Amino acid sequence: MRSMFAKIFVSFWISEILILLSTAFLLRHHFDSPEVQHSSLLQSMTMSGNAAAAAYLSGGCPALRQFQAMSPEPSYLVDGSDQVLCASAAKPDLGDLLRQVHDGPRRPAGMQIGDNYLWGTAIKSSTGQSWTFVISGPYPAEHHFPLHEILPRLLISISVSGLVTFALALFLTRPIGMLRTAARKLAGGDLSARAGSNSGKTGASDKPPSLDELSGLVHDFNHMAERLESQVAAQRLLLRDVSHELRSPLARLSVALELAREEAQPEMEDHLARIEREAEHLNKLIGQLLSLSQMESAQRIPDAEVIPMKP
């Protein structure tokens, strides 16, 4: 897996899946634990028991019965002597439950009577009196999530995380891919190659202040390519101009050499011949420089392509 896009995509996606699974596991086990259920039940029963005791102290049995009628589940208020206050004739036997409340720790005590489950907890009113508040309701059921309910949600979550990770990996690696393409063109001789959709001329002062690191890298690469193109063009122009300028002194040197031969003594012929050879050598070098400058300024010939002639 050499592609940076594949590395970023796979690593980010696996990380999101692990985070998703671990979060779901922790939340499920936290909220389904008996400690959390009993704590929530204790808090709810304490609030309701204090309200029932306040109603009884303020209005007696009529106020307590009104409170019990408004409660979603049957409830009973027991005083310090274990007497059920304002009870009807069909009150349940709370003896064993009250003993569990008095002897047990600070948590709701429970016992099953028939199809119902009784929960009881000790409370204290604002006046300092001790009470026992009892409610009748179902046992807190454990939440089980079957596989046919979990699997579709899990697949949807993984698919969404995959799309988000794909977009993120594409956003991070797209500028790098553009840089690689432009760098290959630049290495192949195309000095006009630029990275990104904006291939126009840019200067160092044109850099927006809000670019991120990758966009800034693309901008700096384009600025480098622009400077390189301008310097190479200036070098070619200088080479061509210097080569043309050297032709004129060489032509005058050749004329002066022929005039010197007409007036020179015979013993100077060897020296004049050597000057002529060096001038011809310099003329050839200047010609090669001009040919090189013309070849570099010409349009680059595309790479050869093999085309089969067989039908």
pLDDT tens, per residue, the chain with 311 residues: 566 677 777 888 888 888 877 776 665 554 445 555 567 777 787 788 888 888 888 888 888 888 888 887 788 888 877 788 887 656 667 777 777 777 765 666 777 766 677 878 888 777 778 888 888 776 555 555 555 666 677 778 888 888 888 888 888 888 888 888 888 888 887 888 888 755 455 554 455 555 677 778 888 888 898 898 888 888 878 877 777 777 778 888 888 888 887 877 777 888 888 888 888 888 888 888 777 766 666 555 556 677 887 76
CATH class of residue range 204-297: mainly alpha
Q: How many CA atoms lie within 13 A of 209 on its CB side?
A: 0
Query: Per the confidence metrics, is the pTM higher than 0.95?
Result: no
287/229 Cα distance (integer angstroms): 24
* Per-residue pLDDT, 60: 85
- Among the listed residues 181, 189, 188, 193, the one whose alpha carbon sits nearest the alpha carbon of residue 224: 193
Say which DSSP state 161 is in. Answer: H
pLDDT by residue (tens digit) across 38-52?
Answer: 677 777 877 888 888
* Per-residue pLDDT, 300: 53
* Per-residue pLDDT, 34: 55
Q: For the chain, give every domain's residue range.
A: 33-137, 204-297
Give me 146's structure tokens.
Answer: 């079957």
**CATH architecture of structural domain 33-137:** 2-Layer Sandwich (3.30)
φ and ψ of 143, to 5 deg = -90, 120
Give the N- to C-terminal CA distance of the chain in Å, as an integer: 40
- Among the listed residues 115, 103, 108, 62, the one whose alpha carbon sits nearest the alpha carbon of residue 85: 62
198/277 Cα distance (integer angstroms): 54
pLDDT by residue (tens digit) across 137-159?
Answer: 765 555 555 556 666 777 788 88
Give me 259's structure tokens.
Answer: 């005039």
Q: Which residues touch 198 (CB under 8 Å, ≥6 apart)? A: 222
